[in-house]
Structure 1
Amino acid sequence: MRIISGKSKGKKIIEPKDFNTRPLKDLTKESIFNIIAHSNKFNIELEGSKVLDLFSGVGSFGLECLSRGSTNVEFVENYKNVLPILRKNISTLNYQNNTLIIENDIFNQLNFNIFMNKFDIIFIDPPYKEKNLSKLIMNIFEAKVLNRNGIIIIHRHKKEKEEFPDKLNIIEEKTYGISRVIFGNFF
């Protein structure tokens, strides 16, 4: 796994040794960033953006954002075996001043009002078995942590078909191999 583009292009990202974390594949990650850069359905600039990376794992998505010019990424992760890898990846790429790691279970312990920023991009990449995304999306909506022109990107298994709250406007949906990526917002 590597950084695909930007100032850290080509640098390796350490992957977990166990199978409890499912890192975002380079092909899917590259496709997501191509859509962000070229879609005429929404207008997001990575340069200067603030990003919330939920279920961040080793930080592949958020680190790619920083490499491409995001100013700040807040990583939320609660799996103790992957947190040292996330910290090492941030340190190796020298992004300590642009990141915050929140060690919490996004469903049980995190109040969305703790975030200091409003975000331009919120990336949600939960375990495929996770079925409680509607509650999470409503928490994001109610806390008003997504900027007016911001987008939510949800990464799921292509066979998973969730019911999302009516508040989430699905802008675009793409399938890559076994993955499905949903782009949405609240406006």
Structure 2
Amino acid sequence: MRIIGGSARGLHLAPVGAGDAAAHLRPTSDRVREAIFNLLINGRVAQSGNPVSDARVLDLFAGTGALGLEALSRGAARAVFVEDGTTARSLLRRNITLMRATDDTELLARDATSLGRNPGAAFSLIFLDPPYGKGLGERALAACVAGGWLAPGALIVWEESRPPTVPPGFDEIDQRKYGDTLITLLKAPT
């Protein structure tokens, strides 16, 4: 697992192997991560500018943090990682250190489905990569809305195994399948 593009391109992140089923770690493959960032930077979304550049990124169910760290490498201003698993947080801390991104990141040890009130500025780019098939993505997105975590018009990159239930008011921008992974891009209400 490595950073695909940007200032840290080629940086190898802490190895996870095929993942850790007990810790629910299923890292987004390099290939799928590259496809996600191509969609963001070169796809329909990019018509109104690069959504990654200077973004405040919220990485929910962060796992190893590869998505948020990739965004930082590609010009995001800040990344906040939400992860409640001990094993994943340990790997995430190692990856933040490897990326030398301590000053640009924050790690919240909490459940993404019950975030509570956002204590700071809202986020313009959200990565949502819950354990597949459990409805946790829908619950996490509802928690984001309720807690004021989303900026108006925020972009959500949702990784699942099946089409998610899109909440009212959100626009589906794109959807692509990569093996058993389905990527859905949503735009939050403005």
TM-fit CA distance, 1:41:
4.1
Question: Gaps (5+ residues) in structure 2?
Answer: none
**Which of residues 156, 174, 177 is equivalent to 2:176?**
174
Question: Gaps (5+ residues) in structure 1?
Answer: none
* Whole-angstrom distance in 2 between the partners of 1:27 and 1:73: 21
What's 1:25 paired with? Answer: 29
| Contact 1:121-1:151 within 8 A present in 2 as well | yes
* Counterpart mapping for 1:75-154 below 5 A: 75-108=81-114, 110-111=115-116, 113-154=117-158
SS in 2 for 1:136: helix
Q: Does 1:53 align with 2:59?
A: yes
**CA distance 1:135–1:167, shift in 2 (3 Å):** farther
TM-fit CA distance, 1:39:
2.0
**CA distance 1:37–1:96, shift in 2 (3 Å):** same
TM-fit CA distance, 1:99:
0.2
| Contact 2:118-2:148 within 8 A present in 1 as well | no
| Contact 1:15-1:58 within 8 A present in 2 as well | no
| Contact 1:52-1:122 within 8 A present in 2 as well | yes
**Which of residues 44, 48, 68 is equivalent to 1:62?**
68
Cα RMSD after superposing both structures: 1.6
TM-fit CA distance, 1:22:
0.1
TM-fit CA distance, 1:82:
1.6
* Whole-angstrom distance in 1 between the partners of 2:2 and 2:103: 21
Q: Residue type of the partner of 1:36?
A: L
Aligned residues with identical type, % of pairs: 28
What's 1:4 paired with? Answer: 4
Normalising by the residue count of structure 2, what TM-score does the alignment of the two structures yield?
0.89
Q: Residue type of the partner of 1:82?
A: A
Q: Residue type of the partner of 1:16?
A: V
Normalising by the residue count of structure 1, what TM-score does the alignment of the two structures yield?
0.90
Query: What is the count of residue pairs matched by the alignment?
Result: 183
